[in-house]
A = this chain, B = another copy of it.
């Protein structure tokens, strides 16, 4: 077989047979290429720039047309077919190619935050008297006496590794020592670190807030003294390579060493974020003294290595909702080994810490007005209530709104159609693509818009059936029944092979309608459970990054969100990591989350007899009961007239 030469970064040269993956060639050349998704072409992290072209791209799913034009290729999806030269970009550059980091939020330090009053991690400098023949006190007693006298603290806990280091630390610092303590348990202060010498008061004291999403892990690095967020960073959860949704991860994690593997993968994701974040902050990860973590219940179990199988089996119980604090080393997180890892409490198998943290950061638990909080992802978690009461449920919406289970669905990354408009006369669409360029598929917000536009223009009827009698060739018979062509293949010029049309099929439409029906049925069950009319809700708070990009009007038109004045909707972005940040900073916020978790009433929809009826009623666009959607009914009126 023919051999070709591949040169990496004008330095490492290797000869490989024709057809070798660039990723394998790189490995042979000793060049490191990141492959968090395991070489499945999904994460885009293995992007390299081909400077002398001798390759064939099998897939460019994670690259925009411009990127490909500029020479980029995914090393895991590209084979060598001639002599080739390649440069491997710095990971920072690849991160900018991708869009996971595009939701960086502006975060205000909470008004009135005071580390002295609110923070449980404290730092003190101690100056001790050296031992002598007339004062042979042991190091440990000398140290604890200093802490008692100079900081007023009676130490409760110390680990054996810290005990082993203490003597050397005291002598290295010539009997001056900086201590970091966790004072969360008032009765038993815990020593986190003893460092030689004294630090200036202005030196930051580092903490991290982490949201482990099923898809994306986010990490914020925070100075616990000022409260300021110094770095925000996010990355795909490496567990994706073992399953897209929580159910498939639980199944994988329950097999043989699957649990260990899942734990290792999410720890790797956190480790990668820590490395990147600490590089940006110019610190060592061992300087991080506390981490507060949120995530859905499955993510928390997998992180902690706690078997999650009971979550998916009736009667659907978690092993633990209120996780006690653990040491970072015990959890396996590479910050200071003695750092506190505080896992925020969840409520139930499918209403986790991401929701309790979300409720906190939404503020709905602290106001008299009645709010409806929703976080739409693979599951739609819903909370209804106020500072007097809170009820919650989880709807297994399925991953349709994340682009899975839909023929041309994709995540909200570069190349995804995120907004769609359809001309009511010609049935021709126009759309907006994330990052511009040619479309690769349709993400959740695009699917939502598409469904609404198709419905409003009469391409879909109330029952979700496509109308084949319209004067357009975009509605056609496909492999899976009727489908609508969003973008013709000849318009998408990527790759070498014949480009595919991007379509939405009848099956896709059914999946999307089931997803939205599941969520809307959740609203009605929650409202009915407390006898509160859904229409009387004061505000709808939409969390999660998905919520940030949807068009409310269209979400109402398809019956995903309740029909109420637009000013009542608020889009809050990643409420989970924000809640983790607030809990990391402020013990009062942390106590509020515990309070939220303990007083929120969970309603198990699969045990609720009225759920199926509510779901069935919602399996229409927007709903069987049009009285619930007066503005939609009004908007449809002219269309209906035209049709008739």
Contacts and interface: CB of A to CB of B under 8 A. Distances in A.
A134 B607 contact: yes
A349 B136 CA distance: 9
A137 interface: yes
B138 A318 contact: yes
Interface stretch (A88-96, A276-284, A322-330): A322-330
A326 B167 CA distance: 19
A176 B326 CA distance: 27
Contact of A140 (B133, B305, B320): B320
A134 B314 CA distance: 11
B602 A159 contact: no
Contacts of A167: 306-307, 310, 319
A314 B163 contact: no
Interface string A457-485: 00000000000000000000000000000
A160 B322 contact: no
B317 A136 contact: yes
A131 to B, nearest CB: 5
B136 A307 contact: no
A322 B140 contact: yes
A247 interface: no
B166 A314 contact: no
A159 B321 contact: no
A136 B316 contact: yes
7 contacts: A133-B604, A136-B348, A136-B604, A139-B310, A157-B324, A160-B331, A163-B319
A324 B136 contact: no
A188 interface: yes
A388 to B, nearest CB: 24
B139 A322 contact: no
Interface in A314-354: 314-324, 326, 330-331, 348-349
Contacts of A310: 139, 167
A317 B140 contact: no
Nearest to A130: B315
A132 B314 CA distance: 8
A164 interface: yes
A627 to B, nearest CB: 33
Given A133-B607, A310-B139, A604-B136, A160 B318 contact: no
Given A140-B319, A140-B322, 11 more contacts: A133-B607, A136-B316, A138-B322, A139-B318, A139-B319, A159-B330, A160-B304, A160-B331, A166-B319, A167-B306, A168-B307
In order of increasing CB-CB distance, the 10 nearest A-B pairs are A140-B320, A138-B318, A133-B607, A167-B319, A138-B321, A131-B317, A133-B315, A139-B319, A160-B330, A164-B306
Interface in A559-615: 602, 604, 606-607
B140 A307 contact: no
Contacts of A348: 136
Contacts of A602: 136
Interface string A515-527: 0000000000000
Nearest to A331: B160
Nearest to A166: B319
B307 A164 contact: yes
A117 interface: no
Contacts of A321: 138, 140-141
A169 to B, nearest CB: 11
Contacts of A131: 315, 317
